[in-house]
């Protein structure tokens, strides 16, 4: 009799334990530099991440379990980013959305691979992480794809010399981008690329960068920097009366660019992958939900973080085991993102990303092709 009671007690405890486990939230992490000079990229991504989680929780969660988003700030430093990953591992997250910059991704991917934690980045584009059979995924184009697009556009114009001003503080992104751009435009029409590097982590006199660009006597200026620094560079170019076509990449794209740049950024062309004016119902519903929640208009990091999180949530309906999550992500043949159907190649890189050029006109980003 005593043995029977003990057996019943043990069974009850196990059932209670299983019940508690099933009622625990499913945890996923977000990794981004939220307190840096380039924080706009990560804060927008964080908001897209949060909105996707709030929406699924409002509809009942996943298999009657709520989803808990755990947000970690990398502060733009490798050591802090690694500490953030370790914290997420200790919290037993099923997967991570982020990071938002290439430099951070290059630093933390070996650690997430070691711990076998799937990580989906909304905005990392460095080619250093291409073609690797690992746990890193992205819902964003690569540097090579974007550089090729700009080179093709410029090859039809009289751009025989381009001055490229780029920030080595995010070297894994900027230097990789310039390398691919130089290779592509030389192949297209033999144009020369004059390199003007700087480092946002040290004191930078932006007027000197503008002066160096002027000395190069280019037909256009390419800027690879965060939104605030891009705005300052455009201001300095204007002070020196350098009236040339100017181009920037997705890293520069945020409200901060227009807010800090004012008239000096008018006419600036930017490579983009999200179109907030797209009339498609899915896009406009997202834009309105985001505006209601955050009192702001979403930009590309919010678009892609929202898509990345929704892709992950769709897989979590099938499994919360990190290894199986990776397998299920690779199996996705077509996921309806906000503006395109998304799927990954065998290495977790996005297939056939959509890209276009936008131009700042009267303080608004207007699609031009």
| pLDDT tens per residue across span 48-78 | 999 999 999 999 999 999 999 999 999 989 9
Do 253 and 262 meet the contact criterion of CB atoms below 8 Å apart? no
From its phi and psi, is residue 267 left (phi > 0), alpha (psi between -120 and 50) or beta?
Answer: left
Mean pLDDT across the chain: 92
Name residues whose C-beta falls within 8 Å of residue 324's C-beta, 6 or more positions apart in sequence: 318
The percentage of residues in the chain with a pLDDT greater than 90, rounded to a whole number, is 83
Over residues 110-153, the pLDDT tens digits come to 999 999 999 999 999 999 999 999 999 999 999 999 999 999 98
Over residues 269-327, the pLDDT tens digits come to 999 999 999 999 999 999 999 999 999 999 999 999 999 999 999 999 999 999 999 99
Pairing of strands 192-198, 161-167: parallel
Q: What is the pLDDT of residue 203?
A: 81
pLDDT reading at 7 higher than 80: no
Prediction pTM value? 0.87
Do 98 and 112 meet the contact criterion of CB atoms below 8 Å apart? no
Average pLDDT over residues 327-356: 94
**Residue 15 confidence class, pLDDT cut points 50, 70, 90:** very low
pLDDT reading at 9 higher than 90: no
Q: What is the pLDDT of residue 333?
A: 93
Identify the H or E element spanning 120: strand 119-121
Q: Find residue 96's DSSP bridge partners.
A: 29, 119
From its phi and psi, is residue 357 left (phi > 0), alpha (psi between -120 and 50) or beta?
Answer: beta
Phi, psi of 112 (to 5 degrees): -70, -35
Nearest to 165 by CA among 232, 252, 224: 224
Please give the structure tokens belonging to residue 138. 């992205």
Residue 359: strand, helix, or coil: strand
Degrees to nearest 5, angle at CA 196 with 233 and 349: 90
Write b or e for each residue in 212-233: b if 16 or more Cβ atoms lie within 10 A of its Cβ, otherwise e.
ebbebebbbbbbbbbbbbbbbb
The secondary structure of residue 318, as a DSSP letter, is T
**Residue 38 confidence class, pLDDT cut points 50, 70, 90:** confident
Please give the structure tokens belonging to residue 296. 């702001």
Q: What is the pLDDT of residue 351?
A: 92
Average pLDDT over residues 246-268: 95
pLDDT reading at 2 higher than 90: no
Domain ranges of the chain: 11-141+279-342, 144-272
Helix ranges (H only) for 276-321 are 281-294, 300-316
Please give the structure tokens belonging to residue 75. 């502060």
CATH architecture of 11-141+279-342: 3-Layer(aba) Sandwich (3.40)
pLDDT reading at 160 higher than 60: yes
Fold assignment, 144-272: Rossmann fold (3.40.50)
- Chain-centroid distance, C-alpha 321: 25
Distance CA 95, CA 112 (A): 9
Over residues 164-190, the pLDDT tens digits come to 999 999 999 999 999 999 999 999 888
CA dihedral sign, ordered 284, 285, 288, 290? negative
Per-residue DSSP letters for 59-78?
A: TT-BTTB-EEEEEEE-TT-H
């Amino acid at each position: 009799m005593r043995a029977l009671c003990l057996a019943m007690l043990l069974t009850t405890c196990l059932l209670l334990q299983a019940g508690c486990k099933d009622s625990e939230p499913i945890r996923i992490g977000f990794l981004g530099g939220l307190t840096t000079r380039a924080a706009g990229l990560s804060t927008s991504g964080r908001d897209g991440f949060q909105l996707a989680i709030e929406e699924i929780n409002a509809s009942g969660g996943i298999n009657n379990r709520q989803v808990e988003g755990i947000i970690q700030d990398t502060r733009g430093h490798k050591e802090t980013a690694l500490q953030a990953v370790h914290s997420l591992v200790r919290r037993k997250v099923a997967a991570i959305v982020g990071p938002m910059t290439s430099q951070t991704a290059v630093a933390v991917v070996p650690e997430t691979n070691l711990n076998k934690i799937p990580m989906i980045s909304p905005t990392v584009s460095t080619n250093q992480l291409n073609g690797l059979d690992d746990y890193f995924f992205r819902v964003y184009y690569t540097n090579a794809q974007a550089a090729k697009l700009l080179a093709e556009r410029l090859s039809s114009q009289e751009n025989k010399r381009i001055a490229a001003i780029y920030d080595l503080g995010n070297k894994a992104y900027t230097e990789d981008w310039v390398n691919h751009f130089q290779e592509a435009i030389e192949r297209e029409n033999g144009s020369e690329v004059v390199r003007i590097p700087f480092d946002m982590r040290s004191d930078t006199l932006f007027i000197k960068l503008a002066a160096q660009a002027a000395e190069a006597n280019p037909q256009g200026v390419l800027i690879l920097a965060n939104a605030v620094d891009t705005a300052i560079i455009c201001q300095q170019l204007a002070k020196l009366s350098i009236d040339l076509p100017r181009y920037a990449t997705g890293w520069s794209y945020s409200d901060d660019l227009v807010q800090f740049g004012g008239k000096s950024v008018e006419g600036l062309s930017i490579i983009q992958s999200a179109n907030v004016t797209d009339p498609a119902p899915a896009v406009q519903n997202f834009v309105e939900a985001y505006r209601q929640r955050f009192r702001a208009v979403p930009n590309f990091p919010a678009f892609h973080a929202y898509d990345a999180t929704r892709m992950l949530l769709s897989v979590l309906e099938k499994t919360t085991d990190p290894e199986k999550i990776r397998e299920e992500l690779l199996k996705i043949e077509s996921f309806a993102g906000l503006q395109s159907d998304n799927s990954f190649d065998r290495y977790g890189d996005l297939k056939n990303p959509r890209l276009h050029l936008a131009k700042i006109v009267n303080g608004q980003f207007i699609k031009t092709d």
